[in-house]
Structure 1
Amino acid sequence: MPKLYLVILVFSISLIHAQFVSKPAVLEQINAFLQEDVDTVDSTYTVLEVIGKEKLSLNVNAVVEEFDGRYVVQLNSSSRKIKLQEESVLRNFVADDLKHVFGNDVFKSCQITRVGFEHQQRNGHSEIVGGVVMVHQLVHGHLVRGPAYIFMFYDALSNLKMIEYSWIQTEKKVVKNLARNTDVKQLHKSMLTQKMSEISESLTKENTRGELYKAVRSWRMMTDSIGINVLVPSITYLGKYDDAGTMRYVSFDIDEFPAKSEAFKPEICSKREEKR
């Protein structure tokens, strides 16, 4: 049996729980992300130091207010007359509006992560009266899980009425990995198994089932011991479960190199000593 297949098989067995299971494709993603064939004590990886917030330029006339690094943009758009109904249609409007308001560069550096609709009961039935879309900033092609986002608020006729955003600026830093990669990866997998077990236990109480359906590379924001905000490489796990006929979604992050390991003590190699 090939070594990689054996690793995936063993890992698959460890992630099977009664009420929350993982798709085989996710297990392959995880093993690819964690690079199972690497085993060294002399390695480094990249983190991103957050060096400030950025006020984005607008291509439209709008009222902009700042609240401690967050910006709120009030718009008066009313050109659309299309009732909000389908998520795919709203996603297309979001793409057009991002380009129109911020320009193509910002559009290319973010990704839609959540689409929701606001409902009200009218004349005995539920009616969509607005939409809220969350967009996350991409840094080096990966989502930032933290205060790097754009919220977009739509009325019932698909017009963009308000934007709230927080955009960050980053600088690369190099970190020493003092533990064997296999040791760190084993800790990551143990943390994933534990998280899935907790979710499975919760779903068991609700008498429902769910699955882990996707894993994506991301950046998780954390504050280090000397108060500097950094983005560390992580994997974001996406799951879903049935709640009395309604599909619910769950997501959580686990660092690629979990800092809780006693053997793993990261050390910023550039400029960090100057700031102590």
Structure 2
Amino acid sequence: MKSIYFLPLFLLTMTNDAFSQSGKTYILVHGAWHGAWCWDKVIPLVQARGHKAIAVDLPGHGHDTGRTSDISLDDYVNEVVKTVNAQNGQVILVGHSMSGIVISQAAEKLGRKKISALVYLDAFLPRDGESLFALVDATLKNLTPNSRKPMLVENLIVSEDHKTNSVNPAMVAEIFYHDCAEEDKEFALPRISKEPIAPLATPLHLTDDVYGMIPKYYILCTESRDMDKTFLSTHVPCKKVYKLASSHSPFFSMPEKLVDILNEVK
């Protein structure tokens, strides 16, 4: 966390409104089992560049874990849409992992008037009619002999009612945070939550006229151990594909390099 602690004090005390007057606005959406807390290192670094950054807690995550099993994809999307509509002007939507499907469906609802770009951080990048589960199947089928072993699939634990899943606690650190500092692991591991299954099984409704017209950027984490997403980075045309030699969690392991990339996105 040194990079945060040594930022000039005035940068940390300025409000997001001040940043937004001349900079860009980033809406940061966490992946499965995580929460807005995973962006804690990223937000002050984005602000230090003169931009605004808002991390969203999707329903059932972060500070909202009281309700999980009956959450839908619409619930996720509506939370993002509400956050975006509360901002002045256009925003850049950044989705990590699972939330690639969330930002895609939200962008379809919001359109180019509100969304200037979509950034997929080692995320699921969908076409019309696909669900996250369908994307997982396609990704597994397109793994090459040189692909890393997809550790996540074999370490999922499904609840008895089949409404939520979780990750094998003994493997979470290895799957998500293998290159992260011990203090980051100690921060993240107690905050990992259950994930509703319904949003993952819901097909998306996307159109060429709306979703297809919004510029897309992909950040591929080349050392990610959950699942090699090389296939996904080419699944839908992107304006640019970046590569980070990081785990699935560069917001912890290399936040400065991640923010360097985000800063390039128009």
> TM class by shorter-chain length?
under 0.3
Larger Rg: 1
TM-score, normalised relative to structure 2: 0.21
Choose between structure 1 and 2: higher strand proportion.
Answer: 1
TM-score, normalised relative to structure 1: 0.21
Choose between structure 1 and 2: higher helix proportion.
Answer: 2
